[in-house]
Amino acid sequence: MKILNILLIAWLFVGCSTKHLSPANVSDYFWGAQQKRDYSDVKKFVRQRDRSDVKLQRSIHIKRYRIGKAEKKSADLAYVPTTLYLSGFFKNDPSSEVAVDFDTVLNKDKEGWKVNMKETRKILYIETIKHFGSSMGRDLSDEIRKGLGDLHEFQNIFKDVLKNLADSVKGMKR
């Protein structure tokens, strides 16, 4: 019991320090807090200079997320492959879920690994726009194909009408 009390006091003293957390762990805690929109918790996992602006766009609703294995680029820079599963992405189908893949960017300072909010947000928004654009392009392409099919059907009907009209005119000439 004494050991448990000591561990509890040590945990309270250390709090939510990221000093000994890996980039992947920091990313996991960060995205978990973003998912809950717990911005006071989010601030614990971002760089000091980013703490005044930690919110994502209101339209981004994180249903779930997946964190990959971190790739350290240098002693103070790491990229963590991240997939956010966003809901409510399309107004005509709010229950749909969209997976957006990108890298969470982290920098290491005296406090440990911290999310570089500015770079991470930029990468997330670019990938979200790409995904939205490609999805919109697929939808548009499907509609054009459908429209062309309708146009082809209209063209056949129009040919029949013209043929019948021509046959009627021939019959009138006799």
Fold for the domain defined by 19-132: Nuclear Transport Factor 2; Chain: A, (3.10.450)
Q: Structural domain boundaries of the chain?
A: 19-132
pTM of the model: 0.67
Place of tokens 């043929």: 163
The secondary structure of residue 48, as a DSSP letter, is G
Residue 60 is predicted with a pLDDT of 83
What are the pLDDT digits (tens) for 82-117? 999 988 766 666 667 889 999 999 999 999 999 999
Residue 35 makes CB contacts below 8 A (sequence gap 6+) with 62, 64, 65
CA 14, distance to chain mean position in Å, is 33
Cβ proximity of 64 and 79 under 8 Å: no
For 35-63, give the DSSP string. Answer: HHT-HHHHGGGB-GGGTT--PPPTT-EEE
Beta bridge partners, 80, equal: 104
Cβ proximity of 100 and 84 under 8 Å: yes
In angstroms, rounded to a whole number, what is the distance separating the alpha carbons of residues 161 and 142?
A: 29
Beta bridge partners, 79, equal: 71, 105
User: 88 in the Ramachandran plot: left (φ > 0), alpha (ψ -120 to 50) or beta?
Assistant: left
Mean pLDDT, residues 122-150: 69
In angstroms, rounded to a whole number, what is the distance separating the alpha carbons of residues 51 and 64?
A: 23
Kindly provide the residue ranges of all beta strands, DSSP E only, lying in 22-133, ordered along the sequence: 61-67, 71-74, 77-87, 97-109, 112-115
Residue 160 is predicted with a pLDDT of 55
- The encoded tokens of residue 83 equal 């997939």
Residue 82 is predicted with a pLDDT of 97
In angstroms, rounded to a whole number, what is the distance separating the alpha carbons of residues 107 and 123?
A: 15
What are the pLDDT digits (tens) for 37-80? 999 999 999 999 999 988 888 778 899 999 999 888 899 999 99
